[in-house]
Amino acid sequence: MKDERGAVAVVVALVLVPLMGLAAFGVDVAGMWSEHQQLQNGADAAALAIAQNCGAGACGTPGSTAQRLVTANHVGPGATASAATSAGQVTVQAAATRRHLFAPVIGVDSSELSARATASWGSPDGGTAVLPLTFSWCEWLQQTGGGQPSSTVERTIYFTKSSGTTCTGPSNNVVPGGFGWLTTDGGTCQSSSSRVGLLYSDPGNAVPSGCSPSSFSSLQGKTVLLPVFDQAGDTGSNAFYHVYGYAAFTITGYDFVGRYSYNAKSCKGNDHCVRGYFTRFVDLTEAFTYSSGAPALGAVVVELTA
């Protein structure tokens, strides 16, 4: 037995290196994955933030925004970031050096980590409106003065029968029997459409059958995207509106019919209206798609594309 003294020490010495290698794989690789996720989260957040800023018309300093958000999402010092913008797109690169705990035993002191994210933005060219209502291009021009909307001055937009603008013609309705309501999607209070496509009128003064008071109360004080039409035709349930683009409208009041009323001091008698303002707005809901060819009416859609 004396000849076997020290055998355990030899065995331990022989297996120590592979054990340390396994520790390097288990601990250091897990640490690399965690830190890479931090960099990716920071790059994603930075790309979306820069795209929102640019979509709103004020890119600011993309590089500083990228560095701030990558640093905020990274545990520990040393993370670096850069941002490159082009027409309707921004790409953020994030990087850091990961110092290992066990891997130096097998000759690997550190690893370079990186992450990348791209976000794009553009004017909406199709989607689902949560308010089944449309306005004319003429009405939008009169409300905004033809420029990009940015004011929070409230305005009252009357339904076409009592519009009081020059947008509705002698009959005071764009289409006979049409008050601006749209046919909805399968019993909902929403209406899907695409730019240069057609929307069909839900004729009459009453709200569409799929709508309830809660459908509108949930939108109080909210900004919604609404289709803007430049042409209309036919009559009754066959009446159509040709979609020109989409505008953002903040709802501060409305009076439609009966129980469908909120902060409607501007609507009098039998008049029906919606109150609020066209505004600049960045949409992140993924309810709308976008394209570079869609008209800029103040609404912008932002999407993380890579």
Q: Positive or negative CA dihedral for 288, 294, 296, 302?
A: positive
**Ordered per-residue pLDDT tens for the chain, 306 residues:** 555 555 566 666 556 667 666 666 677 788 889 999 999 999 999 999 999 999 988 898 999 999 999 999 999 888 999 999 998 999 999 999 988 877 787 788 888 999 999 999 999 999 999 999 888 888 888 878 777 787 777 887 777 655 556 676 555 566 655 567 899 998 899 999 999 999 998 887 788 889 999 999 999 999 999 999 998 888 877 889 999 999 999 999 998 877 888 887 766 666 778 888 889 899 988 899 999 889 999 999 999 998
Length of the chain counted residue by residue: 306
pLDDT of residue 13: 59
> In sequence order, what DSSP letters do the residues of 245-260 get, joined into one string?
EEEEEEEEEEEEETTE
- DSSP bridge partners of 121: 302
d(C-alpha 238, C-alpha 180), whole Å = 13
Amino acid at the residue 268? K
pLDDT of residue 266: 64
**In angstroms, rounded to a whole number, what is the distance separating the alpha carbons of residues 37 and 114?**
10
Residue 23 is predicted with a pLDDT of 62
161 contacts: CB under 8 Å, gap ≥ 6: 172, 173, 179, 205, 272
Residue 197 is predicted with a pLDDT of 94
Question: CA triplet 13, 15, 19: central angle to 5 degrees?
Answer: 120
pLDDT at position 6 is 56
In this structure, which amino acid lies at residue 28? Answer: D
pLDDT of residue 147: 76
Which pLDDT score, from 0 to 100, does residue 187 have? 86
